[in-house]
Amino acid sequence: MSLRIFSVCKVLLLLATTSLLAQDPAPTAAVPGDSLHKAKEWYQRFGIRGYAQVRYNRLGETNPQLKCQQCDASWGEDGGFFLRRARVIIFGQVHKQVYFYIQPDFASSAGGTRNYGQIRDIYFDVGLDQDNEFRFRIGQSKVPFGFENLQSSQNRLPLDRNDGLNSALSNERDIGVFFYWAPKKVRERFRMLVRDGYKGSGDYGVFGFGAFNGQTANQNSQNDKLHLVARLTYPFEIGSQIIEPSIQAYKGDYTLRPNQISDGVLLENKDRTFADERVAATFVMYPRPFGIQAEYNWGRGPQFNPHTGTIETSSLEGGYVTLNYRMEIKDQLLYPFTRYHYYDGGKKHELDARSHKVNELEIGAEWLPFPNFELVAMYTVSSRRFEDFQLPINHQRGGLIRIQAQMNF
């Protein structure tokens, strides 16, 4: 009898042990500042996601000389199928108050060679409180200037950002330190506007302020002066609608690199340094179901003068208006949209701070048959004057059909 009792106890002990081993392992050590949560292994503290975009821009093209260097390198002659972006994003909350984000792009180009890897973002956020309502972002990241600049290309409806505000920052990024503040409730609203397909910009705080090199992403500082930027925004709920007005500005000095200047160009400032400052206003009504997105900025910066062959400090202005609609068709999403944008000014990061005057109308639609795939088709009617020392007279007009397939993972 005792032997049977011992055998039964042994079986019960074995079953209990197996059940315990099947559960989550107990934490090995407490994480500082995270005592209310179980400690996680390093591989449980980060995730991987990303997207890729393939484009074709030559359908219905009326002028192969119509191009946009900052928009899409496959515009115009010699363009074909084009890998616009290939992003892999590694991110994680390694501590309750420390978050990291690394994003390389494997569709970058240099010297005519395409599709090599280059860092777009590499930063970490350090929270000053348990809810991370106050935080510092340190590293290379987007500069908080303009809604569409901050909006991910994965979410934006038009295939390229508008010239007016995007001319402020090549790749929208720079290296610096930025302070962001937003209440916990508003941070969740920012996340919802992206997560639920309302084309949000992401969480860059209600208030943002920072200092950055001012030479744009992946470039060394060319002077000892930092740029300063500030932004104030708030997404108000009004009935079923969400409206977000914003105001932002930055100020600094931009120094042209020697390889940005053609031989023979005259310079207003011999040290190649020019005032670089802008202020912008934003109004967004999210598509629930009808949406409006509008921005405009004013400022001054370096610009090529084709009449004198000189790069000089000049005024600039420009912006856009986008109208869009969010349609749910069973499990699919469809976003018809149209955008008009305008810009008159220089682009400091292009050759000779190339002078631009842009008037452009786009009409299109984005279709998501399922979350991991989307297709955008749009027709562009454009008038672009883009002039530098090598092409001092260059005004191109035309139209084209543009198509993009995007995969999300």
Q: pLDDT tens digits for 351-364? A: 999 999 999 999 99
Residue 37 has pLDDT above 90, yes or no: no
pLDDT tens string 223-269: 989 999 999 999 999 999 999 999 999 999 999 999 999 999 999 99
In this predicted structure, what is the pLDDT of residue 73?
Answer: 86
Beta-carbon contacts of residue 165 (< 8 Å; ≥ 6 apart)? 145, 146, 148, 149, 280, 295, 297, 318, 319, 320
> Could you tell me the two tokens for 124?
């970490």
- Beta-carbon contacts of residue 127 (< 8 Å; ≥ 6 apart): 96, 97, 98, 99, 133, 134, 135
Round to whole Å and give the CA distance between 41 and 314: 55
Rounded average pLDDT over 70-86:
90
Q: Once rounded to an integer, what is the mean pLDDT over residues 386-396?
A: 96
Instruction: Assign domain 48-398 one CATH number from 2.60.40.10, 1.10.10.10, 2.40.160.10, 2.40.50.140.
Output: 2.40.160.10
Q: Which DSSP letter does residue 4 get?
A: H
Do residues 331 and 338 touch, judged by C-beta distance below 8 A?
no
Asked if 122 and 107 touch (Cβ cutoff 8 Å), the reply is no
Backbone dihedral region for residue 76 (phi beyond 0: left; psi -120 to 50: alpha; all else: beta): left
Q: Specify the pLDDT at position 40.
A: 77
How much is the CA Rg of the chain, to the nearest whole Å?
25
Closest CA to 316 of 93, 167, 131: 167
- Read off the pLDDT band of 367 (50, 70, 90): very high
Can you say how many angstroms the Cα of residue 281 is from the centroid of all Cα atoms in its chain?
18
388, 362 Cβ separation under 8 angstroms:
no
* Predicted confidence (pLDDT) at residue 368 exceeds the cutoff of 90: yes
pLDDT for 22 equals 36
* Alpha-carbon gap, residue 174 to 223, rounded angstroms: 14
- To 5 degrees, how large is the angle CA 148–CA 293–CA 369? 80
Confidence check: pLDDT of 158 > 80: yes
Q: Report the predicted TM-score, pTM, of the whole model to 2 decimal places.
A: 0.87
Neighbours of 28 (CB within 10 A): 7
- Residue 366 exposed, middle or buried by CB count within 10 Å (0-12, 13-18, 19+): buried
Assess contact for 54 and 66: CB atoms under 8 A.
Answer: no
Sort residue 355 into left (φ over 0), alpha (ψ -120 to 50) or beta.
beta
% of residues, the chain, pLDDT over 70: 90
286, pLDDT greater than 80: yes
Q: How far is CA 283 from the centre of its chain?
A: 18
